Amino acid sequence: MQSKKTEILIDPDVLSESHLSNDIHSRESHVNEIINCMRPITNGDKPVNCWLYGKSGAGKTASAIHALRKLTEEAGVRGVYVNCWEYPTFFSVLERTAMKLRMLGAEKLSTSFKLERLKRHISGERLVIVLDEIDKPPPKERHAILYNLSGLSKTGLICACNSQHAYFDLEDRIKSRLNPARIHFQEYTQNELFEILLQRARHALATDTCDEGLFHTIAALASGDARIAIHTLKNAAFLAEKDAQDVITNSHVMKAWNSANDLNKTHMVSKLTDHHRLLYELISKNNRILSGELWRQYIETCDSRKIRPIAVRTYSDYCNKLVEFGLVQAKRAAIQGKVREFTVAQ
């Protein structure tokens, strides 16, 4: 007997990572703050650059893109979005910008020529560049990107990344030249996630296929992360369809959440630099490890792989970043001194 074909997901694209809805629930004030910072360029003045930071799934990228879209639609500002995770050098950021601005003949130029061409190309224009994942380029490249682009006239920069450290670690001359408004993105509350899910579900799911209580369940499970919440809803709908059910059930949600959570970890790990990833791998392999032993194993692995280790003073920043990303938990070890014990976050 053939199973009944049910349709729960009427528009899966609405639950995709890249979907940009018209409204951005609970982030209107952040979007307005970004727009207000950029507004001076509409009168030909210098804008206030922005530095967006906060945990994964808190809506930084979505808000930056919303602000860019509004500035383009309402004030005729040209906007370029660059994900520095994909373009982690000054050269590649310039190349991407040139491509987005449809600058012809800039392909083969050196970095300095490219920059000159960009200056000429945008003279008289008002431009906003989003530099997403700005903590990804190595420090030298990050400095070159920020120093040179913040020197462009009538150009506003919206930088985004998970932590503030990448900002505080900048050279003083770059910090003072950039001088951004720092905008914190708190994790979403359970109610905010509930509203976001409801709004997406209205367009993505057939009516009466998901009980309101399940949106609350997903919102609670997602711990403030909109990416996990939306992925969970999408996976749950897929599972319900696969089971030929007419509605999503609690068991679909629980299964879907497990895989969304794994996917999120993979997303976070993919954002790490090689050395962060190596430290994370060692913590995962050991399950539980003291900071001194982790350092020893790290040096040993660098030796055997013939890679240059990070300095010992950077080591603790790197470990803090893993904690900040929610990949690792740290607690003071039950022995004297400043020894910390690391475990993989569940």
Ligand X SMILES: Nc1ncnc2c1ncn2[C@@H]1O[C@H](COP(=O)(O)OP(=O)(O)OP(=O)(O)O)[C@@H](O)[C@H]1O
Which positions touch Mg ion (CB under 5 A)? 61
State whether the Cα torsion 305-309-312-317 is positive or negative.
Answer: negative
The whole-angstrom distance between residue 255's C-alpha and the CA centroid of its chain comes to 25
What CA–CA distance (Å, rounded) separates 191 from 196? 9
Q: Which is nearer to ligand X, 95 or 187 (CB)?
A: 187
Q: Which is nearer to ligand X, 27 or 96 (CB)?
A: 27
Residue nearest to Mg ion (CB): 61
Q: Which is nearer to Mg ion, 64 or 236 (CB)?
A: 64
196 makes contact, choosing from Mg ion, ligand X, none, with CB < 5 to 8 Å by partner type, with ligand X
**Minimum CB distance to Mg ion, residue 4 (Å):** 40
230 makes contact, choosing from ligand X, Mg ion, none, with CB < 5 to 8 Å by partner type, with ligand X
Copy the structure tokens of residue 164: 């503030």
Can you give the binding site for ligand X, defined by CB under 6 A?
17, 21, 24-27, 56-62, 162, 185, 196, 226-227, 230
Q: Are 55 and 93 in contact (CB under 8 A)?
A: no
226 makes contact, choosing from ligand X, Mg ion, none, with CB < 5 to 8 Å by partner type, with ligand X
**Minimum CB distance to ligand X, residue 185 (Å):** 6
233 makes contact, choosing from ligand X, Mg ion, none, with CB < 5 to 8 Å by partner type, with none
**Minimum CB distance to ligand X, residue 82 (Å):** 14
Q: Which is nearer to ligand X, 135 or 241 (CB)?
A: 135
227 makes contact, choosing from Mg ion, ligand X, none, with CB < 5 to 8 Å by partner type, with ligand X
**Minimum CB distance to ligand X, residue 86 (Å):** 13
**Minimum CB distance to ligand X, residue 145 (Å):** 18
Q: Which is nearer to ligand X, 35 or 226 (CB)?
A: 226
**Minimum CB distance to Mg ion, residue 223 (Å):** 17
340 makes contact, choosing from Mg ion, ligand X, none, with CB < 5 to 8 Å by partner type, with none
Q: Which is nearer to ligand X, 58 or 159 (CB)?
A: 58
